[in-house]
Chain A
Amino acid sequence: MKSGKITAWLLGAVILVGFAGVWRLQRNIDHVKSSIDVEQDQLAFRSGNLVKKLSLEYAPLMAAIYWTRVVQYFGEKHRLHQTNLDLLWSLLDITTTLDPHLMPAYRFGSVFLSDSPPRGAGRPDLAVELLERGIKENPDQWRLYQDLGNVYYFDAKDYPKASAAFAEGSKNPNAMIWMKVMAAKIAAEGESPETSYFLWLQVYQTTTDPMVKENAELHLKLMKVELDLKEIDRLANKYEKQNGHRATQIGELVQAGLLKELPSDPEGYPYVLGEGGKAELNLDSPMLEKQLLEKNR
């Protein structure tokens, strides 16, 4: 039996080596595939109804699977810094057709369908369609009205409709008071920084989806930058009035007692005064890139 044991060990070793080979080959294959994968975004079936029929009784399970695909798809795009999110709508459409009560799909979808590239697909119209379906199937979910309001307000820039959405949502006994307040404010003023900041804060504080939260945080930071820069400009003008010439460095504003200390952006980089004494982001700050993208909408 001795030879039997030796053979067994030998074969075991061969198997281990084999797995090493498998690993090596797999990496090569991945490499080859990624070069042709650019065009691999494929959805065999784009019709939600068709998929639902094919799923037989397992529609909720399929919905979960598709929802996972949405997350994977989005995450992958994010990771590869790719910006075409063509399939996002189809995937979400199918997911919500399979399971009309899958709330995360609506809430996530509304954010990333309507938000402009590179963060989202830039299709507020699709987001509205998604949300309206969601509302129809889940009329008691007032948060969907909140999302609808956000879409109209931020991306579609349709303030009457935004106000209407918030108003409608506020009718729900569970809705928070601010829905009513916002409805009125937007009806009266349309867009305003305080409103924007408040709405994003709501999203940031209440969402459980990490990607949505990250997105909201980004928007909040951008808003903060905008507000900060506005404030610094205001102080700079005050300085100019007081001293007759424009400050060239923030430090001078501090010395003049207009600012308590050197203000920094949300990433921790101090603001600077650029050409013409206008407040600007620090060149090293990562916020700069994001701001530029924002400006190029």
Chain B
Amino acid sequence: MRNVWVVATNTFREAVRDRVLYNLVFFALLMMGAAVLVGQISIGIEESVIVSLGLTAISVIGIFIAVFIGVGLVSKEMDKRTLYALLAKPVERWQFLLGKYGGLVMTLAVNTGAMAVGLYVVLWSVKHPLERSDWYVLMAVYLILLKLGLVVALAMLFSCFTTPFLAILFTVGIYIAGVFAEDLRTMQAMDITPATMKLLRGISYVLPNFENFNVMGAVSHARGVPASLVWHDTAYTIVYAGIVLIGAAMVFSRRNLK
């Protein structure tokens, strides 16, 4: 387990020095700056727009980072063979995977945190004393982080057995599917047989449901998020990401490196 921590910290160090990350975060902050402008135009819903746009920026940029760096974590290492020297050391492959995952989650946490700070700065500049209800934004950001944790696990899974390009494609695909997973369950389309309905329902549970983490509507209108949702979502991510990582470890353990 110590090895996992070592790999994690190294991954974090490597990721944090990658300039791409800074560009992305900068872009997110830019978006938030733009939110202020948009807020100026729409009277009376300034804060709502800022929060909505800000959370959207954090989510979108976060997904970008999660997918591209998540895929890169394993794929790039295999491609460029940085992996070879490491795996010849007394470290198990699953430790490597878990460490990578941990490192990236740490990176994401830092980035998301930075963007959240940016969002609060913008919010504060518009509305000087921050009220209690503004802390709900933090909860929304936390939920986004949970979502990213899940996406990263999926990205790693796919990068364990396909090329980087396909892995990105699959991850994005699953993400989109996951966003609509909930709709699948309450499908109100015309000629669906009960059997098909059951099948769709089953699929909707198997797919990762990203709608769970979406509280933008409530938070942008300064309405609270129930604590039970936060606990449940945390548990959901842990369990689901756990499954995905186990799968990834199983695949990776048997993989012949080129």
Interface pick from A7-15, A119-127, A140-148, A229-237: A7-15
Q: Do A15 and B243 touch across chains, with their CB atoms under 8 A apart? A: yes
Contact pick for A32, options B52, B217, B229, B247, CB 8 Å: B229
Taken together as a complex, chains A and B put the C-alpha atoms of A205 and B236 apart, in Å, by 49
Contact pick for B239, options A22, A32, A74, A75, CB 8 Å: A22
Chain B interfacial residues counted at CB < 8 A = 33
Interface pick from A38-46, A181-189, A243-251, A259-267: A38-46
Q: Do A76 and B223 touch across chains, with their CB atoms under 8 A apart? A: no
Q: How many A-B Cβ pairs are below 8 Å?
A: 78
Contact with B along A1-34 (1 / 0, CB 8 A): 0000000100100110011011101101100110
Q: Do A15 and B232 touch across chains, with their CB atoms under 8 A apart? A: no
Q: Which of A45-96 contact B (CB under 8 A)?
A: 71-72, 74-76, 78-79
CB of A284, distance to nearest CB on chain B (Å): 28
CB of A170, distance to nearest CB on chain B (Å): 31
B14 on the A face (CB < 8 A): no
Taken together as a complex, chains A and B put the C-alpha atoms of A52 and B243 apart, in Å, by 40
Q: Which residues of B contact A44 (CB under 8 A)?
A: 52
Taken together as a complex, chains A and B put the C-alpha atoms of A233 and B107 apart, in Å, by 79
B9 on the A face (CB < 8 A): no
Q: Do B212 and A39 touch across chains, with their CB atoms under 8 A apart? A: no
Taken together as a complex, chains A and B put the C-alpha atoms of A11 and B240 apart, in Å, by 14
Max chain B CB contacts within 10 Å: which of A15, A26, A33, A39? Answer: A26
Q: Do A79 and B188 touch across chains, with their CB atoms under 8 A apart? A: yes
A173 on the B face (CB < 8 A): no
Q: Do A71 and B217 touch across chains, with their CB atoms under 8 A apart? A: no
Max chain B CB contacts within 10 Å: which of A29, A35, A79? Answer: A29
Contact with B along A196-228 (1 / 0, CB 8 A): 000000000000001000000000000000000
| Given the contacts A29-B212, A36-B218, A39-B221, A76 and B188 also touching, CB distance less than 8 Å | yes
Q: Do A18 and B236 touch across chains, with their CB atoms under 8 A apart? A: no
CB of A179, distance to nearest CB on chain B (Å): 28
Q: Do B217 and A25 touch across chains, with their CB atoms under 8 A apart? A: no
Taken together as a complex, chains A and B put the C-alpha atoms of A23 and B249 apart, in Å, by 22
B206 on the A face (CB < 8 A): yes
Q: Do A72 and B217 touch across chains, with their CB atoms under 8 A apart? A: no
Q: Do A25 and B232 touch across chains, with their CB atoms under 8 A apart? A: yes
| Given the contacts A18-B240, A39-B223, A32 and B232 also touching, CB distance less than 8 Å | yes
Q: Which residues of A contact B1 (CB under 8 A)?
A: none
Taken together as a complex, chains A and B put the C-alpha atoms of A21 and B183 apart, in Å, by 21
| Given the contacts A32-B228, A72-B186, A18 and B242 also touching, CB distance less than 8 Å | yes
Q: Do A18 and B246 touch across chains, with their CB atoms under 8 A apart? A: yes
Q: Which residues of B contact A22 (CB under 8 A)?
A: 205-206, 236, 239-240, 243
| Given the contacts A18-B239, A18-B242, A40-B218, A23 and B205 also touching, CB distance less than 8 Å | yes
Q: Which of A86-143 contact B (CB under 8 A)?
A: none
Q: Do A29 and B236 touch across chains, with their CB atoms under 8 A apart? A: yes
Q: Do B217 and A42 touch across chains, with their CB atoms under 8 A apart? A: yes
Q: Which residues of A contact B217 (CB under 8 A)?
A: 39-40, 42
Q: Do B243 and A18 touch across chains, with their CB atoms under 8 A apart? A: yes
Taken together as a complex, chains A and B put the C-alpha atoms of A297 and B249 apart, in Å, by 63
| Given the contacts A14-B246, A18-B243, A18-B246, A25 and B236 also touching, CB distance less than 8 Å | yes
Q: Do A35 and B246 touch across chains, with their CB atoms under 8 A apart? A: no
Taken together as a complex, chains A and B put the C-alpha atoms of A39 and B242 apart, in Å, by 33
B117 on the A face (CB < 8 A): no
Q: Do A19 and B243 touch across chains, with their CB atoms under 8 A apart? A: yes
Residue of A nearest to B218 (CB): A36
CB of A84, distance to nearest CB on chain B (Å): 16
Taken together as a complex, chains A and B put the C-alpha atoms of A23 and B205 apart, in Å, by 6
Q: Do A11 and B239 touch across chains, with their CB atoms under 8 A apart? A: no
Taken together as a complex, chains A and B put the C-alpha atoms of A75 and B250 apart, in Å, by 42
Taken together as a complex, chains A and B put the C-alpha atoms of A244 and B242 apart, in Å, by 85
Q: Do A39 and B218 touch across chains, with their CB atoms under 8 A apart? A: yes
Taken together as a complex, chains A and B put the C-alpha atoms of A55 and B225 apart, in Å, by 31
Contact with A along B225-258 (1 / 0, CB 8 A): 1101100110110011011001101100000000
Taken together as a complex, chains A and B put the C-alpha atoms of A231 and B190 apart, in Å, by 37
Q: Which residues of A contact B247 (CB under 8 A)?
A: 15
Taken together as a complex, chains A and B put the C-alpha atoms of A11 and B188 apart, in Å, by 37
Q: Do A11 and B236 touch across chains, with their CB atoms under 8 A apart? A: no
Give me 16 other A-B pairs in contact (C-beta within 8 A), A32-B232, A36-B226, A39-B218 excluded.
A11-B249, A14-B246, A18-B239, A21-B239, A22-B243, A28-B228, A28-B232, A29-B212, A33-B212, A33-B229, A40-B218, A42-B216, A72-B186, A76-B186, A79-B186, A210-B190
Q: Which residues of A contact B (CB under 8 A)?
A: 8, 11, 14-15, 18-19, 21-23, 25-26, 28-29, 32-33, 35-36, 39-40, 42, 44, 71-72, 74-76, 78-79, 210
Task: Report 25 cross-chain contacts, Cβ distance below 8 Å, ordered by A residue.
Answer: A11-B246, A14-B246, A18-B239, A18-B246, A19-B205, A21-B239, A22-B206, A22-B236, A22-B239, A22-B240, A22-B243, A26-B205, A26-B212, A29-B229, A32-B229, A32-B232, A33-B229, A39-B221, A40-B217, A42-B216, A44-B52, A72-B188, A75-B186, A75-B188, A79-B186
Which 3 pairs show the lowest CB-CB distances between chains A and B?
A75-B188, A18-B243, A42-B217
